[in-house]
Amino acid sequence: MIEKKGRALLLGDGPVITASAAVGGKKEGEGPLGASFDLIVKDPYAGEKTWEKAECLLQKKAVTLAINKAGRSPTEVELLFSGDLINQCTPSCYAAVGLGIPSVGLFGACSTAAEGLALAALLLEAGACDRAVSVTSSHFCTAERQFRTPLAYGGQRAPTAQWTVTGSGAFLLERQGSGPRVRGALLGKPVDMGISDVTNMGAAMAPAACDTLAAFFRDSGKTPDDFDLILTGDLGSVGHRIVQEQLGQEGISLDDRYQDCGLLVYDSARQDTHAGGSGCGCSAVVLAGHILREMAKGSLKNVLLAGTGALMSPMSLQQGESIVGIAHLVWISAE
Amino acid sequence: MEMTKKQYKDYVKQVSPASPLVADMARAFVSGGLICTVGQVFSLLYRSMGLSQQTAGTLTSVTMIFLGALLTALNVYDDLARFSGAGTVIPITGFANSVASPAMEFRSEGLILGVGAKMFTVAGPVLVYGILSSAAYGLILWILQRM
Amino acid sequence: MFIEELLPAFLTGGVICAIAQVLIDKTALTPARIVVLFVVVGVVLTALGLYQPLVDFGGAGATVPIMGFGYLLANGVKEAVIQDGLLGVLTGGATAAAAGISAAVVFGWLASVTARPKAK
């Protein structure tokens, strides 16, 4: 049953994440969370002709791995939620083609992982289906060419710039089974604080994360102390600091339990990733790999993920629009 | 968050790390200087072969453009640029890089609409505004001649 | 080859690039815009007679940076207008820059058919 408390949606026992899979690229595999990936695809082309096809392959691998891990077959899955960063989400479309699962394409920029999880959990809880998969992907090369400059172009990255994660994370959610449960969700409001600097996405998305987290603590009756870990999707070092400071000023102290997936996925000093990781794959691989493994071990019980996204396109930026941020939240509990 | 957009912008500026200006400038100075020195070596070489100043100059440009495109094709130019910043953007090798890199990138969309159409997505503005400003200068010169 | 022929080139080119770096770090201008700015500045400085002394001193240090492309265009237009009159306005610049532009097209195209961009 879904209990609506203000904007917070509480799911009672909630659907179970019975399996998840994280697929990463070479750089991600070399990062601090390398050991938590189910599969590392070292070749950025993944043996394909284009990077877009490579990203599609990563997504397909993540979905099939997650389904296989639970001992299920794709025919048993009733709904697929998928998304990525590329125009019209084509990597997701092509990845879904062979699977034969009814699909819902999502675009929430880098917040899509949390958005997909939230929607899948809500539909399961509402009884619309018994088994659903949520998957997202991003690829450094497909994102660079769409949003920035050609890969071989000689540019310098700003210290606030972030590095798009090459990877895909998939989650299988079921109404019955064992595993952590999705106990709550909150869907975010788009927030525009006038930031138009593409090399500082963390700053553009942080206000949305603040809004979502503040709304959740206000409406759900929970406090940060109820959670072992509070995560934002890909705010990087700048956005992490902003959320910490701004929520602190509103009397919500997150302290050390606040982390950002973009900061966890790379070792910025060693891997030259500046402010941290980003992309639809960022929070997906961190959650599907590292976090859910820790929850299975019992070292984490209650985790909040506010997936953050920058809703913009190269066209909107060239037309002088600022970057709209959004943050969708899911509460995952192993209790 | 109780802030106006203006207040937020100022706040963001305050919490965002700035580029290390002095180190960046030093790297741009040394790398840009070195590229120009290479150009000077070729220019002296072509002159010593008995070529005219103008031909030697043209040949030097062509040589530097070749080197820029070659290093781009070898996927080395972007590595150099990560270190050099403006030192690899401003020399004509950077112009070659800005033509060759989209050409390579958009090969996946085919030779005509990929390579052909996208080759000047980065470098096009340089040609447009370079030629436009030279035409404006020519026109002014022509009018002045008539007065 | 003497150090006195190379050092001015190094210094001139280095200073021009360092100035561009200040613009990259301190303003919101992207490198692509700065390159456009420098070409136009090259044309303007040449038109005002201010760039020639820099070329006399620095040689390739002044002609290799993208400002030198502006210098080339401006000088080409000037010669063509003196020789051919009004038509020179349209022929001068591109004629002077023809080798550079064609070289970029030819070598860029060759790069695209021989090499694949690599992820870092």
Please give the ipTM for the structure prediction.
0.95
CB neighbour list of residue A103: distance below 8 Å, 6 or more residues apart = A79, A80, A81, A82, A92, A96
CB C53: neighbour CB atoms within 10 A?
11
What is the radius of gyration, based on Cα positions, of chain A?
A: 18
The residues spanned by each domain of chain B are: 25-122
Which residues of chain C have a CB within 8 Å of the CB of A156? 24, 31
SS3 of residue A195 by DSSP: coil
Cross-chain CB nearest to C31 (options A25, A155, A166): A155
Task: Give the residue from chain B lying closest to A211, CA to CA.
Answer: B1
Range B31-54 average pLDDT: 96
Q: Quickly state the pLDDT bin for B2 (edges 50, 70, 90).
A: confident
A165 vs C contacts (CB less than 8 Å): none
Q: What pLDDT shows up at residue A77?
A: 98
Question: A127 pLDDT band (50/70/90 cuts)?
Answer: very high
User: Contact at 8 Å (CB) between B17 and B77?
Assistant: no
The H or E element containing residue A5 is: strand A3-5
Q: With respect to residue C98, please indicate whether it lies within any of the assigned structural domains.
A: yes
**For a pLDDT cut of 90, what percent of chain C falls above it?**
90
C119 lies in some domain: no
pLDDT for the residue numbered A94: 96
Q: What is the mean pLDDT of residues B35-61?
A: 96
Structural domain includes residue C69: yes
**CA A122 – CA C53 distance, rounded (Å):** 72
pLDDT one-digit tens code per residue, A180-199: 999 999 999 999 999 999 99
Q: Is the pLDDT of residue A244 over 80?
A: yes
The pLDDT of residue C23 is: 96
Which range among A147-151, B15-19, B70-74 has the greatest average pLDDT?
Answer: B70-74
CB of C77 closer than 8 Å to CB of C89: yes
For the domain covering A3-174, report its CATH number.
Answer: 3.40.47.40
Q: Do residues B129 and C39 lie in contact, with contact meaning Cβ atoms separated by under 8 Å?
A: yes
Closest by Cβ to A152, choosing from B3, B77, B82: B77
pLDDT in tens, A61-115: 999 999 999 999 999 999 999 999 999 999 999 999 989 999 999 999 999 999 9
**B82 at the A interface (CB within 8 A)?**
yes
Beta strand segments in A165-316, E: 167-174, 181-186, 229-232, 258-260, 277-278, 302-311
The yes-or-no answer to whether A3-174 and A181-333 have a common fold is yes
The confidence score (pLDDT) of residue C119 equals 80
The average pLDDT across B129-141 equals: 98
Q: Which domain holds residue C13?
A: 3-114
Q: Share the mean pLDDT of chain C.
A: 95
Inform me whether the pLDDT recorded for C1 exceeds 60. no
Q: What are the distances in angstroms from CA A63 to CA A96, A295, C5, C36?
A: 9, 20, 64, 46
A263 has pLDDT over 70: yes
pLDDT for position C86: 96
The helix (H) or strand (E) run that includes residue A248 is helix A236-249
**SS3 assignment, position B66:** helix
Residues in chain C: 120
- Whole-structure pTM over 0.90, yes or no? yes
* CATH class of the structural domain A181-333: alpha beta
Q: Where are the domains of chain A?
A: 3-174, 181-333
Residue of A220, A238, B87 lying closest to C65 (CA atoms): B87
Q: Is residue C120 part of a domain?
A: no
Q: Give chain B positions within 8 Å (CB) of C28.
A: none
With cut-offs at 50, 70 and 90, classify the pLDDT of residue C5: confident
Instruction: Inform me whether the pLDDT recorded for C59 exceeds 60.
Output: yes
Asked if B56 is an interface residue toward chain C (Cβ–Cβ < 8 A), one would say: no
B81 contacts chain A (CB < 8 A)? yes
Q: What is the 3-state secondary structure of A112-180? A: HHHHHHHHHHHHHHCCCCCEEEEEEEECHHHHHHHHCCCCCCCCCCCCCCCEECCEEEEEEEECCCCCC
A–C interface: beta-carbon pairs under 8 A: 20
Q: What is the mean pLDDT of residues B17-22?
A: 94
Q: How many folded domains does chain C comprise?
A: 1
Indicate if the alpha-carbon torsion angle B42, C39, A158, A315 is positive or negative.
negative
Mean pLDDT of chain A: 96
A1 to chain B, closest Cα gap in Å: 32
